[in-house]
Amino acid sequence: MNASYDIAGIGNAIVDVIFPATDAFLLEHRIAKSVMTLIDEYRASQLLLLVKRGTESSGGSAANTMAGIASLGGKGKFVGKVKNDRLGQSFARDMRAIGVDYDTPPAADSLPTACCIIAVTPDGQRSMNTYLGACRELTPDDVDANAIAASNVLYIEGYLWDQENSKASIRKAIAAAKGAGRKVAFTCSDPFCVGRYRSEFLDLMQNDIDILFANEAEAMALFEAADFDSALASARAWKGLASLTRSEKGCVIAAPNGEVHVLDAAPVARVIDTTGAGDQFAAGFLFGMSKGMDLRGCAKLGGIAAAEVISHYGARPEMSLKLLEAQSGF
């Protein structure tokens, strides 16, 4: 079967609210720094009242990756649930406007559309407070198996694993991808997410996942390693392709054939906001794979995409990644 899409992504459909904050602000309002914390509707409403200079845009980890795919000129499809409310309508408009195929039926009568309130401190670190809302309403009926089968790669967001019906949706998507001989990629999302589901993630790796994305902290949590070198050794022992990012230290790619590629981070004049760095790295890497690049080329393109997004506020590219790719000599 010829592929209709380069990448199909499945994840939480969230509207991001990003604002600058000080470390003192985080302490005063009990916001955990540099991680994602799940919050309830009341906590979300209270935090939103504190936002004075925020920007609002559609988001969610896998959705951000799909935005990067589109910016590179790729064809992508996203699966994620919103409510038919103001934020949900805004999310759908944003995704379609950037060229991502998004047609998951909205929930007419459910919790509000999800939001992620992201405090960005002067060091560029992002502290995420996520209200999942309608994200939790995703069911297997929302997954179009034919569309997944018609995608070169299925990309799965680890955050989605928090709900049982979402797990069933993911398993349906995996079955469709595997049945069509497609690759399945998975991002760990967050070290706390790994801590909640480590054994289940490892089981997915042994049976369903071909490509793993993890940052240094996530890899150490996943493999219960005391340091990065130990985590890398465990990743090399796995049968799949592991893409491990290390912020300013670049990335390490461990291939199934035993090859290891170490690449420096792409240069950036100033780090403004690290929100979405991993999402955009995955976008560049997967787009490169879909176009037949070698692993070093994929990782280099991922680094270029990540460098662009950390140079400004927001989790999605402001400059055309396709243009940056061309300027870099690909």
pLDDT at 1: 61
Q: What is the pLDDT of residue 292?
A: 93
**Averaged confidence pLDDT in the chain:** 93
Q: Is the pTM of this model over 0.85?
A: yes
Return the CATH superfamily for domain 5-12+61-111+135-327: Ribokinase (3.40.1190.20)
Q: What is the mean pLDDT of residues 171-177?
A: 98
Q: Per-residue pLDDT averaged across 92-106, rounded?
A: 95
Domain boundaries, the chain: 5-12+61-111+135-327
Lowest mean pLDDT among 35-44, 167-176, 210-219, 225-234: 35-44
- Of 156-165, 174-183, 313-322, the range with the lowest mean pLDDT is 313-322
Contacts of 68 (CB under 8 A, 6+ apart): 279, 280, 282, 283, 284, 287, 305, 309, 316, 317, 321
Q: What average pLDDT score do residues 8-21 get?
A: 93
pLDDT at 330: 66
pLDDT, tens only, 286-328: 999 999 999 999 999 999 999 999 998 888 999 999 988 888 8
- The pair phi, psi for residue 68, each rounded to 5°, is -65, -40
Average pLDDT over residues 257-275: 91
Question: Residue 252 — pLDDT band, cuts 50, 70, 90?
Answer: very high
